[in-house]
Chain A
Amino acid sequence: MTDYRQKYKMTPVVGWLLQDRGGMILLAILIAAAILVPMGNLLVPEGSAFHVPTWMLSLLGKYLCYALLALSVDLIWGFCGILSLGHGAFFALGGYSMGMYLMRQIGDRGVYGDPILPDFMVFLNWKELPWYWYGFDMFWFAIVMAMFVPGLLAFVFGFLAFRSRVTGVYLSIITQAMTYALLLAFFRNDMGFGGNNGLTDFKDLLGFSLQSDGTRAGLFVASCVFLGACYIVARGITQSRLGKVLIAIRDAESRVRFTGYRVEYYKLFVFTVSAVMAGIAGALYVPQVGIINPGEFAPALSIEIVIWVAVGGRGTLYGAVLGAFIVNYAKTFFTGVMPDFWLFFLGGLFIAVTLFLPKGVIGAVPAFGAADRQSLLTTWRKRRANEGGKA
């Protein structure tokens, strides 16, 4: 294989991107999709075989957001061994930031016609806007908050957790506790985030109606762009020296610590970056589905994200994107055709992937490293053989 790094000395980014075959394919698909899908929706007349209906555009946009979320989880789980079962919380916080902006944009077009207060506040008899709603009438502020709030939460949470060396399963459990606590909090009406119903009935974004095909196409393109950009950032992190340390932490945390690295800072950095990505995914998700409610904080949803990554192939980044698409397409398919079967399928997927496909779908493709693939079953058999038949 040509060493692209030598060839493209001036531009290291292009260098490692060219080496990353899966990433190149992903980026190519994203660029193609960002151009062709909106064209198919807006330009190709209805009835044509190439016409992309609006519902499909929205559905694909939603999948792209999920893919970005999966990417953020793969960044920490696949490359640093941090299994977060609370990433849905960062996603939802990003979503709520965008939702608050969209709420403020409704203005006096709400049911109660109050120019400042969202409908649910009027309904709850609130007299003025709570302080934390200030600023959300500005788009840039909402976008900054969609990244800042999840990032801050992850920073504080990670600082506490990593500093005291909470690792492995314990970390998973307390991340789950975190998202569960937020779920309970956001269900409360007093929190000022719409309680049970969440935020909905959005009208427009930056002056464009959310119902129009053009806006939806725009959001789709934005999702593609952000997914691509975040992929490049994530790949950049994993390719850098820092990324090597992260992988070392994943494989032998204590050894890295004894070698003199401050493990907690590395983990904290990547955890925060990942949370920001999840926040962006949430902010893109909300205008496309038109609602955000506390259900997004449910621990079950956060665990589901992990299975997207596992199905696609942990530690590959593009695998996470693929996994998100596969599992979510299956979800759309099963819940539409035979809803009772969906949980059987999802549950079976969890079991089958962990037992038989530890490297996910990507790992099963020869071109992507299937040669050295070793299913857990074979590892187990080997171990059993080593122990002389006793397991």
Chain B
Amino acid sequence: MRNDIFSVLRRSPFFASKARCAAVQMIAVLACLMAFVTVAPNMAQAFSDEELRNIAEQLNDKSATTKVAVIEQMAADGDPRVAPILKAMLDGDLYVRDSDEHVVIATKKGKVYTHIDIVSGEESGESSSKELSKIKVNNRLRGALRDALATLNLFSPDLAVRTAAVEQIMDARDPAMLPLLLRAIDREEDETLLARMQLAEATMALAAGETTDERLAAILVLASETTPQIRAVLSQFVASAEAEGYQPEVVEAAKDALESVERRLSTWQTVGDVYRGISLGSVLLLAAVGLAITFGVMGVINMAHGEMIMIGAYTTFVVQQALAPFLPSGSAWSLAISVPAAFLVAGAVGVVIERCVIRFLYGRPLETLLATWGVSLVLQQAIRSIFGATNQQVTAPDFMSGAIEFSTGLVLTYNRLWIILFSVIVVAGIAAVLRYTAFGLQMRAVTQNRRMAGSVGIRTGYVDALTFGLGSGIAGIAGVALSQISNVSPNLGQTYIIDSFMVVVFGGVGNLWGTVLGAFSLGIVNKFLEPVAGAVLAKIFVLIALILFIQKRPKGLFALKGRAVEA
């Protein structure tokens, strides 16, 4: 796995064209290399053709110990032709041909086996199974083969294979690998991989190094890295220092290095927690922001809010299904169309609910709560009857899949990043509507003084319906985003309703910024507690903390100031 930021960036869609250029270049280079290999075979190939054939025949020896020795000998020289042979042996595809006693790789095609010559790598006839005898492998040999293959991969012409091999060696930290690794370092041309190899060398040199200077140099290299792996290497070294009797200055240096690595790692851990918290917060924000309008601005307890989110998610599903014949899979267009569609569908459902149920219940919050709960049950069952109770699959577009990975263990997935961005856009949009449009002005007027607003000619009933529609429509938009990260099922809304209410109540009713702050602080607190207490306990703690918080500030973080007293 390649972890450095540059190679990651190159993999990202932004750099796709660049990566393609790089690939073309690489193929060109490889072609040159191959030409080089054929012209001057002895430069890269450690065995002559005859040697290779002879040594391979020893693989058919009766004793497993001899076989292991042969495997190690074959691998030791880094001949590129050895890897396919050992791979075939591991897979049980290596045979001895009875006719000429040559070792061949044979693959079954129908009833006949196609032979591939191990020296030339070309097809060399075919036969039935009777003319071949298999080279037997047992578990001990399989282990040896795997190790050998790992070292051989260090010399593979493919950069990705080499990188994987280096990572494997880093994990195994077998000092016996050191000489091979050193040889690979001599040959390596890719700079990022070279740095990685030197790091791997340092991890081994730390334990296997002979002089104090070698060890100190290794520690210096290790201290410059910030990965959990290096922390493990160093702490293992420090822990075994006493038993192994290392030099005191080495142990001291290792301790310092460990401390600095740990310090940097914990900073990264915090960064990761904050990121995950913001990510969760943005989900909560999306789920709650529609509620901030219906509950916060209108004072309507809409228990069917979660179902509006669900309707938005199902709209995404339906749009995707409907457009599937016309768009290539992974296209962003269906998602782009889903956003306005979900807004309209959920908004329309919201307007209908407001006109048919809620408008009779203004000023009776508890009755509204019960009636909208009823609405939510009906909507859930309706969706279940239409689409079935099972989860529906919404495929994510290409630009949302993938992730940025840092070597420090931090992974930023694109879908989460997009959702954070999306939630910010949605909130900014709502703030703009409330602040700058005529509808927003009317809405605020009706909220502040319904009768006065009516007297100056605002159709209050009309504004109520549209406000509720706006809140529901935004819940629908949230559903589009949530369909990307959670299951689209009839129960989708239920999972978010309590959290949404918590966010709005915590942030303070009637205040959009309170909702934003409430969502992000709940998200971050949750994610900071999670590593300590576990996911479920963290959630319980947050709920209890909220219950206690409401005692202290019954109207939330940002309460509207006023002298109104209810009941």
Binding site for B on A (CB under 8 A): 83, 157, 160-161, 163-170, 172-174, 176-178, 180-181, 184-185, 187-188, 252-254, 299-300, 303, 306-307, 310, 340, 342-344, 346-351, 353-355, 358, 376-377, 380, 387, 390-391
Q: List 25 A-B contacts (CB under 8 A).
A: A166-B550, A169-B366, A170-B550, A172-B369, A173-B502, A174-B550, A177-B543, A180-B543, A181-B539, A181-B540, A181-B547, A184-B536, A184-B539, A188-B537, A254-B566, A306-B370, A307-B374, A342-B381, A343-B384, A348-B374, A350-B373, A351-B371, A351-B375, A380-B360, A387-B454
The smallest C-beta distance from A96 to any residue of chain B, in angstroms, reads: 17
**In the complex, B460 has a CB within 8 A of chain A:** yes
- Ranked nearest first, the 4 interchain pairs of A and B with the lowest CB-CB distance are A350-B374, A347-B377, A347-B378, A343-B381
Residues of A within 8 A of B35 (CB): none
- Apart from A167-B566, A346-B374, A348-B374, what are 14 other A-B pairs with CB-CB below 8 Å? A157-B547, A160-B547, A161-B551, A169-B301, A169-B369, A172-B366, A184-B536, A307-B374, A343-B378, A343-B380, A347-B376, A347-B381, A351-B357, A354-B361
Q: Would B498 and A355 count as touching, CB distance under 8 A?
A: no
Complex interface residues of chain B between 506 and 559 (CB less than 8 A to chain A):
536-537, 539-540, 543-544, 546-548, 550-552, 554
Choose one: A174, A307, A391; the contact of B461 (CB below 8 Å).
A391
Known: A163-B551, A164-B551, A391-B460. A340 touches B370 (CB 8 A): no
Q: Would B370 and A176 count as touching, CB distance under 8 A?
A: no
Known: A184-B539, A355-B371. A176 touches B567 (CB 8 A): no
**In the complex, B237 has a CB within 8 A of chain A:** no
Known: A164-B551, A254-B565. A351 touches B374 (CB 8 A): yes
Chain A residue with Cβ nearest B458 = A390
The smallest C-beta distance from B142 to any residue of chain A, in angstroms, reads: 35
Q: Would B365 and A354 count as touching, CB distance under 8 A?
A: no
Complex interface residues of chain B between 364 and 412 (CB less than 8 A to chain A):
364-371, 373-382, 384-385
Known: A83-B366, A168-B365. A177 touches B498 (CB 8 A): yes
Residues of B within 8 A of A170 (CB): 505, 550, 554
Q: Would B377 and A358 count as touching, CB distance under 8 A?
A: no
Residues of B within 8 A of A387 (CB): 451, 454
Choose one: A157, A164, A348; the contact of B554 (CB below 8 Å).
A164
Residues of B within 8 A of A164 (CB): 550-552, 554
Q: Would A252 and B369 count as touching, CB distance under 8 A?
A: no
| A164→B550 CA distance, assembly (Å) | 8
Q: Would A168 and B566 count as touching, CB distance under 8 A?
A: yes
| A185→B533 CA distance, assembly (Å) | 12
Binding site for A on B (CB under 8 A): 301, 303, 357, 359-361, 364-371, 373-382, 384-385, 451, 454, 460-461, 494, 498, 501-502, 505, 536-537, 539-540, 543-544, 546-548, 550-552, 554, 565-567
The smallest C-beta distance from A313 to any residue of chain B, in angstroms, reads: 14
Q: Would B360 and A376 count as touching, CB distance under 8 A?
A: yes
Q: Would B370 and A354 count as touching, CB distance under 8 A?
A: yes
Choose one: B385, B505, B565; the contact of A173 (CB below 8 Å).
B505
| A170→B547 CA distance, assembly (Å) | 10
Residues of B within 8 A of A174 (CB): 505, 546-547, 550
Chain A residue with Cβ nearest B459 = A390
Residues of B within 8 A of A299 (CB): 498
Residues of A within 8 A of B547 (CB): 157, 160, 174, 177-178, 181
Chain B residue with Cβ nearest A380 = B360
Residues of B within 8 A of A350 (CB): 370-371, 373-375, 377
Q: Would B567 and A167 count as touching, CB distance under 8 A?
A: yes
| A355→B536 CA distance, assembly (Å) | 38
Known: A177-B547, A355-B357. A252 touches B378 (CB 8 A): no
Q: Would B366 and A346 count as touching, CB distance under 8 A?
A: no
Chain A residue with Cβ nearest B385 = A340
Q: Would B551 and A185 count as touching, CB distance under 8 A?
A: no
The smallest C-beta distance from A355 to any residue of chain B, in angstroms, reads: 6
Known: A343-B378, A350-B374, A391-B460. A253 touches B567 (CB 8 A): yes
Chain A residue with Cβ nearest B548 = A160
Residue among B498, B502, B552, B567 with the most chain A CB within 10 A?
A: B567
Choose one: A252, A303, A349, A391; the contact of B359 (CB below 8 Å).
A391
Q: Would B567 and A181 count as touching, CB distance under 8 A?
A: no
